Amino acid sequence: MLFKISTVITMAAAVLGHMEIYKPCPRYSSKCSSQPALPAGETIDYNLNTPIGSNGNILAPFCKHTTPWTQATETWTAGQPVTVSFVAGGATHSGGHCEFSISYDGGNTYVVVHQELKYCFFTASPSAGGVDTVRDYTFTLPANLPGTDKAVFAWTWVNAVGNREFYNNCGDIAIKGSAGSYTGKKMTIANYGAGYPVIPEFLGNYDTGISYYTTNTTQVTVTGNGYTGGATTPTATTATTTAVPTTSTTTKAPTSTAPVTTATQVSTPTPGTGSCTSNTYQCSSDGSGYQVCLNSAWSSVIKCSSGTICYNNGGSVYCGWP
């Protein structure tokens, strides 16, 4: 039996989903006004509003889908305003911390370009009468953000109330600008697997976990080769976020410091047999796809899209071009 990513998410997630973006169009979304062609072998995902992590457990790969759209869905310009839009309705869990980040290396490293802390989706603090009617955020990209034909945009969210969840959608974009580099804050990851902090329920204190976003942070540098307008196939992203850990340069944080290792393929036991650690991933023996450990047993192989193969990158896997 072949498991689709959406099937794995449905089996693994114990909670109903709540928020998702539609602009830029996230991978395999059914909610966008227009989408590129799906990668070969992929299907529309109707569950993009489910969390990828809950109470420190991994429920789905980062970006939810490891193979990008067949082309960029939007072209942004360095130094200009952009708008990120969310699907109307949903459950906002009394707000929380949102970040908006961009990766230039296929999802290994994300630099933050905007934050909406404490009251994401709300007009103001709920205790001060704020209401959760915000579904669009417009912000200006850094003027010195490098250009590229292939970038990954990521929205992430830690909710204020309810199960300790981590939400994430990714879109494939291009950025008009010159070749160069940009240094900024590294993406914050929480409530998602071993090595990352579990931010507790806010219980009315909206400073809960705020240090992971403001003072307890790491700077990263991303590099772009410049925009040419010729992008047709964005680079694949990592399947889990152990390749993009949030570490501290000030007070020591309980986050992963494992270095990124050279990507290699690994052998795989027979699907559905053998013991493993739940919510972990590994490439198939022939590199054609990867497996997810559910209930201490490996799933059947989830195929990478046509033309891509699976790579093991430290504690993560991703589908990329040979």
Choice among 25-29, 53-57, 191-195, 256-260 with the minimum mean pLDDT: 256-260
Residue 305, pLDDT score: 60
Residue 265, pLDDT score: 36
Cβ neighbourhood burial of 322 (10 Å; 0-12, 13-18, 19+): exposed
Sequence-distant (6+) residues with CB within 8 A of 224 are 104, 145, 146, 147, 148, 151, 175, 177, 179, 180, 181, 182
Choice among 44-53, 211-220, 248-257, 280-289 with the minimum mean pLDDT: 248-257
Is pLDDT at 307 greater than 70 in this prediction? Answer: no
Query: Dmax of the chain from CA atoms?
Result: 57
Distance CA 28, CA 248 (A): 34
pTM: 0.70
Structure tokens at 5: 């990513």
Contact 100, 185 (CB under 8 A): no
Closest by Cα among 315, 320, 168 to 245: 315
Give the pLDDT mean for 42-63. 93
% of the chain residues with pLDDT over 70: 74
Find tokens 């704020």 and name the residue. 130
Closest by Cα among 36, 34, 170, 157 to 90: 157
Give the pLDDT mean for 297-322. 67
Q: Answer with the residue of higher pLDDT: 311 or 170.
A: 170
- 296 Rama class: left (phi>0) / alpha (psi -120 to 50) / beta: left
Residue 313, pLDDT score: 58
Query: Tell me, what amino acid is at 128?
Result: A
